[in-house]
Amino acid sequence: MPEYSAKDVQKLRQLTGVGMLDAKKALEESKGNMDEATVWLRTQGLASQAKRADREASEGAVAIGRSGDAMSIVELRSETDFVAKSDAFVALVTSLADLVASKGESATEELNDPLERMKVISKENISIGRVFRIQAPPAGVVDSYLHLQAGRGVNAVVVALEGGSVELAHDIAAHIAFARPSYISRAEVPESEVEAERETVEKIARNEGKPDAALPKIIEGRLGGWYKERVLLDQPFVKDEKQTIAKLLGPATVTQFAQVIIGD
């Protein structure tokens, strides 16, 4: 029987920031003595990683996973692009994305120990960032777009469509990657944001000396441009700006999308 409990393992992890396997090994080596276990970890160069937790992790990589009619995006953060571009880092974020696609967002916990080991090896603050899982609607499709940079994903999009094809979903995902909308339709934009922008463009128009009779048309025109920056259906398709995304979709409907951009 081990000379330590699960609570001892948890306490040692909290004190030192190491992974579960390393905490267990340290307690085994010290026969359950917490102080000696901490010293053992320090001599092995493992306990110092807790000090890295406050360092900014503004780099990283994203990966996309697929399992049946579900897809995922997982972001793994690091301090430098040197670490983010490594084969081990890319492999880990890919494994995380596959797990989330097949089991759900909480499945990332299954790879806590490899994550902790990577922190030790890289000597960087590494953490899981944004995580999304999107399921295709009944009789619908789901597809994605991943922009690579130096072998790592830096801009990932997953889109679910109802009544459309996989090819169409891919085109929409590629568009979102570069156009970066925040909402699918105007109905999703909070009314408070719309009213704030309406007041702003009206003040601008009045300061420009526009006549009162022309204000309604001017305001609506400028709001239309504002919507195009934020609303997917209003945006001109990046591959053919003569048609909007709404026109490109035809009878199909975007039910959900997610986007993760490294450093955004």
CA–CA gap between residue 180 and residue 229 (Å, rounded): 8
pLDDT tens sequence across 89-141:
999 999 999 999 999 999 999 998 899 889 888 888 899 999 999 999 998 99
Where in the chain do CATH 1.10.8.10 domains reside? 6-53
Q: What residue type is assigned to position 68 of the chain?
A: G
Buried b (16+ CB within 10 A) or exposed e, 73-94: bbbbbbbebebbbbeebbebbb
Taken in order 125, 76, 261, 146, is the CA torsion positive or negative? positive
Where in the chain do CATH 3.30.479.20 domains reside? 59-185+235-261
CA–CA gap between residue 63 and residue 131 (Å, rounded): 10
Are the C-beta atoms of 60 and 67 separated by less than 8 Å? no
Give the residue carrying structure tokens 């493992």.
46
What residues have CB less than 8 Å from 213, skipping those under 6 apart?
none
Where in the chain do CATH 1.10.286 domains reside? 190-230
What residues have CB less than 8 Å from 141, skipping those under 6 apart?
69, 160, 161, 164, 165, 166, 168, 169
Q: What residue type is assigned to position 150 of the chain?
A: A
Architecture of the domain spanning 190-230: Orthogonal Bundle (1.10)
DSSP-derived secondary structure for 95-110: HHHHHHHHH-GGGGGG
Q: What residue type is assigned to position 166 of the chain?
A: V
What does CATH list as the number for 59-185+235-261? 3.30.479.20
* Kind of pairing between the strands at 140-149 and 127-135: unpaired
Which pair of tokens denotes residue 264?
């955004």
Q: pLDDT in tens for each of the 264 residues of the chain?
A: 567 888 888 888 777 777 788 888 889 988 898 888 887 887 776 655 545 555 666 899 999 999 999 999 999 999 999 999 999 999 999 999 999 999 999 999 999 889 988 988 888 889 999 999 999 999 899 999 999 999 999 999 999 999 999 999 999 999 999 999 999 999 999 999 999 999 988 998 888 898 989 999 999 999 999 999 999 999 999 999 999 999 999 999 999 999 999 988
CA–CA gap between residue 92 and residue 146 (Å, rounded): 16
CA–CA gap between residue 93 and residue 107 (Å, rounded): 13
- For residue 144, the surrounding DSSP H or E stretch is strand 140-149
Taken in order 100, 66, 189, 181, is the CA torsion positive or negative? positive
User: Hey, what CATH class is 6-53 in?
Assistant: mainly alpha
